[in-house]
Amino acid sequence: MMRVHDWFEYHARSRPDIPFLRQDGVSLSYRDADLKANRWANAMIARGLQPGDRIAYLSTNTIDMGVMYMACAKAGVAPVMLNYRLAPREWLWILQDAEVKAAFVHGGSYLDGIDTIRDQLQGVDAFVSVGTDTREGWQPLDAFIGDSEASAPRLPLTQHDLLYLIYTSGTTGHPKGIMISHQNVIAHVEQSMCASVAARAPGSRALVVTPLYHAAGVLRIMTAAINGGTVVLMEHFDPEAFLETVVAEKINTVNMVPSIVQTLLEHPGIEDMNFDSLQVIYYGAAPIGEPVLRRALATFQCPLIQGYGLSESTGGIAYLNEVDHQKALQGRPELLKSTGRAVVLADIRVVDGDGNEVPAGTVGELVIRGPNVMKGYWRNPEKTAETIVDGWLHSGDAAYLDAEGYVFLQDRIKDMIVSGGTNIYPNEIESALLEHDDILDVAVIGVPHEKWGEAALAICVTRSGNTLPADALIGFCRDRLGGYKIPRQYEFVRELPRNASGKILKRVLREPYWKGRERAIA
């Protein structure tokens, strides 16, 4: 039986001075991180939190957020990471659904946001401010921890216990809580070795710009804790700062989306920078073009590896590794349109609507089986049973496998849009726009975008028959949606195409925008 914090505590004992986390030149060693995590965990236990209880955490990327994950693991408490880009009323639904018992919030604007919904929160016994912002009604983290015991709590936790709860939006309009266990994360870390050409020795350095509320971000923390690595955090992406950090911090691995790779390659002076420390660049969310790949290999002088995964599968379940990329450059360019092959101990199949496996080259739904598959959806057994059938996780993605087992994504069975690596669900946007007095009907689809892969387009039917200014609709959405969800493009039609049962035919709406492209997915 192994839990994530068992590995973390081992590194704190055996290699105490290695940095666990670094940000803006400030380091926190494994020894000090472990001591703070112990005291934080004991403080939560003293406040009555029990294994399986949930706490909320709202912050941009900070060192404290990384420590929080280890504290929660030790206490058996599941953190619910709030997306700081959401609107307060979106946080409210998640907080209520997860039934959190404590809220830890970093940053004045986020304290303000929680205060606007605070009177609607039931069962939250502690409101804790993390960082330097303090105000009435919020207990500073140092005061919350107080003089709590510095030794590790010894609770009868198992690898099957809930490690964290990550919310992802769904086509029903409400987010779903994905239950991830210690076993899920440990399996993912072991499976991801399939994609690793980087040394996993203690002290290996990973640069993380991905938000730590995102599956990719939290998994970087977990991977470091298990392997004894160092995570260097950036609060936000900035091309110049990113490149300077890679060089100054002697970064070994980074995660990006192809649009970011391209942005970096166009940065002035990049050709004069030394990236000798880089061992691998991981990318995902979209394929990479051959010209960009060749430039990236020449500039960064390290392999690129593509990954595909879901929050429900904990992380990556298929990788296009460095050998595959070389094959693509040596006469098999079609492989760059693939997302790779299944990781060890995971099975991938493509099935038809009845769940029957289809032959190679036939498009169907991608399904996944393995120890990395989530425990289920929080408080949603019906959706869990619909999504995990006979042990197989249904991805909602249409794909085919070729004869060699390479996965080729084609479209989404669900209507999710992926823009710059971030999932956007049309139903949430449609629900918000339908609150507008003059919008009678609306469909939101993903259309090609040169930089982000996909962008949201809202196709509207108005009561008046008139068009509405895009700026006005963007402003209308700001109080209802996180900024990244708000469409910047609007079109107006007299009616939307529907089938006999009244469902909008989004495939018909998408066709003109994706015509001539090899796949209707970014």
Q: Quick one: pLDDT at residue 462?
A: 94
Would residue 139 count as lying in a domain?
Answer: yes
Does residue 418 sit in helix, strand or coil?
A: strand
Instruction: Looking at 58-162, list the stretches that DSSP marks H as alpha helix, in order from N- to C-terminal side.
Output: 63-75, 88-98, 108-117, 141-145
Domain boundary among 176, 191, 208: 208
Rounded to whole angstroms, the Cα distance separating 129 from 107 reads 8
Q: Quick one: pLDDT at residue 411?
A: 66
For residue 164, give the CATH number of its domain.
Answer: 3.40.50.12780
Would residue 17 count as lying in a domain?
Answer: yes
Enter the DSSP assignment of 215. H
For the record, the structure tokens of 392 come out as 């197989």
Q: Quick one: pLDDT at residue 170?
A: 47
Helices 258-265 and 290-300 pack at an angle, to 10 degrees, of: 60
Q: Are 20 and 224 in contact (CB under 8 A)?
A: yes
Query: Given the structure tokens 């420390």, which residue do they identify?
Result: 277
Enter the DSSP assignment of 343. P
Does residue 279 sit in helix, strand or coil?
A: coil
Q: Are 124 and 103 in contact (CB under 8 A)?
A: yes
For the record, the structure tokens of 433 come out as 């726009």
Q: Can you list the pairs that 447-452 forms with residues at least 24 positions away whose Cβ atoms lie under 8 Å?
A: 447/489, 447/510, 447/513, 447/514, 448/513, 448/514, 448/517, 448/522, 449/419, 449/522, 451/259, 451/262, 451/263, 451/420, 452/259, 452/419, 452/420, 452/522
CA angle centred on 347, ends 344 and 348, rounded to 5°: 120
Rounded to whole angstroms, the Cα distance separating 122 from 141 reads 21
Domain of 139 in residue numbering reads as 4-208
Would residue 468 count as lying in a domain?
Answer: yes
Would residue 404 count as lying in a domain?
Answer: no
Give the torsion sign (CA, 409, 411, 415, 416): positive
Would residue 288 count as lying in a domain?
Answer: no
Would residue 337 count as lying in a domain?
Answer: no
Q: How many domains does the chain have?
A: 2
Domain boundary among 208, 235, 255: 208
Rounded to whole angstroms, the Cα distance separating 88 from 491 reads 28
Q: Are 94 and 47 in contact (CB under 8 A)?
A: no
- DSSP sequence for 428-478: HHHHHHTTSTTEEEEEEEEEEETTTEEEEEEEEEESSS----HHHHHHHHH
Q: Spell out the per-residue pLDDT of the chain, length 522, in tens.
A: 799 999 999 999 999 999 999 999 999 999 999 999 999 999 999 999 999 999 999 999 999 999 999 999 999 999 999 999 899 999 999 999 999 999 999 999 999 999 999 999 999 999 999 998 888 999 999 999 999 999 999 999 999 999 999 998 544 457 899 999 999 999 999 998 877 777 678 999 999 999 999 999 999 999 999 999 999 999 999 999 999 999 999 999 999 888 788 889 989 999 999 999 999 999 987 778 788 899 999 999 999 999 999 999 999 999 999 999 999 999 999 999 899 999 999 999 999 989 999 999 998 999 999 999 999 999 999 999 999 999 999 999 889 999 999 999 876 776 778 888 787 878 789 888 988 989 988 999 999 988 888 999 999 999 899 999 999 999 999 988 988 999 999 999 999 998 654 668 888 898 899 887 755 554
For the record, the structure tokens of 239 come out as 């091309």
Query: Given the structure tokens 């008139």, which residue do they identify?
Result: 466
For residue 449, give the CATH number of its domain.
Answer: 3.30.300.30
Would residue 368 count as lying in a domain?
Answer: no
Would residue 297 count as lying in a domain?
Answer: no
Enter the DSSP assignment of 193. G
